[in-house]
Copies of this chain bind each other. A is one copy, B any other.
Amino acid sequence: MAYMGSPIIIDKLLYQPKNSLINQSINAKELEEPLNGDGFGIGWYVPDVNYEPVTFVSINPAWSNRNLRNLAPKIRTECFIAHVRAASVGEVSESNCHPFQYGNLLMMHNGGVENFAAIKRQIREPLSNEFYNWIKGQTDSEHLFALMLHFLFEEGLSVNPESVIQAFERMFDHLHTLMWRGGITEPAYLNMVVTNGLFVVGTRFITDNKETPLTLYHSKAAHYAVENGIGQMRPAETGDRSILVVSEKLSDEKDWTMVPPNHFVVVDSELTVTTRPIKACA
C-alpha cells in the first residue's frame, strides 16, 4: 500500500480499518491463500526533519507488534508505504523485509522471480560497488532494486518519474535476458513501487505478456477516512485529498481503478494519476 497526500495519522491506515493491510494479511480475498506474515514493513517521510524516509520492519506479525501499535497513532505523515511479505526467496529476517531504502527512495515489491538462485550472480555482476554493497539480504526483490538503482543513477541525471520509469524498463529487460539465459521459463511477477516522498511510481508487470500480473489498483484523489471500521475514499474536501495505490482494493467501492496489465502508474506531487504502458520484455 502506498499513500500520498493530506497528512494522516498512520494508525488510520494500519490498525483502525478492519480491511487494512494488517487484517488483509490474515485473509486476503484476491489471493489463493492467506498471506502468512513473513515480515512486515512500513516507511514514511518527515520532511520537517529531513528528506530521508524512516523505515520500521518486523519479522513478528504486525498485529502483535507492541512498538508499532504504540507508534502508529502518533505518526503523522504525507507519504506512507506498507508491505506484508509472503516469503518466496530469502529467509525471514529484518534484512529481507520491505521497504528497501536508498537515499530518499523507498521501494517495495509484490511478486517474485522463480528459481532466482540461477541468476543471482548475474544480477549482481554489473552492479557498481555502491549498489553491490548496498544489498543486505537474499531476496530477489532487493537484488532487482539494486539493479534498478544502478541504472537510475548511472547517468547522473536527476531522480524523477521519467528517469525512474526508464530505469525500471532497463531493469525489466535486463532481467528478462538473464532469465532466458538462466533457463528460467516461469514468468516473473513484478509489481513494484518506488517513492521519494514527492512522487510514486508503481509497476503492474509480468515478464510474459500472455499471463496476468498480480493486481494493482489506484484510487481517485479523494478524502481517506475510516468509517464503521472500514477505510475508504470519500469525495474530497478542498485541500484534503490523497491517493492510495494498493495491491487489493480496500473495499468493494467503485472508486478503485485497476491499473492496466503491464502498465506504470504514476502519482505526482499534485496527486495527478497517470498510467502508461511498460515498454519492456517485448
Contact = CB atoms under 8 A, between A and B. Distances in A.
Interface string A91-133: 1111100000000000000000000010011000000010011
A208 interface: no
A46 interface: yes
A209 interface: no
Contact of A132 (B26, B27, B121): B121
Interface stretch (A34-42, A199-207, A231-239, A245-253): A34-42
A87 interface: yes
Contacts of A26: 33-34, 36
Contacts of A94: 66, 91, 93
Interface residues of A, number: 42
A204 to B, nearest CB: 27
Contacts of A67: 55-58, 67
A160 interface: no
A226 interface: no
Interface of A: 9, 26-27, 33-34, 36-38, 46, 49-50, 54-61, 63-64, 66-67, 70-71, 73-74, 76, 87, 91-95, 117, 120-121, 129, 132-133, 136, 138
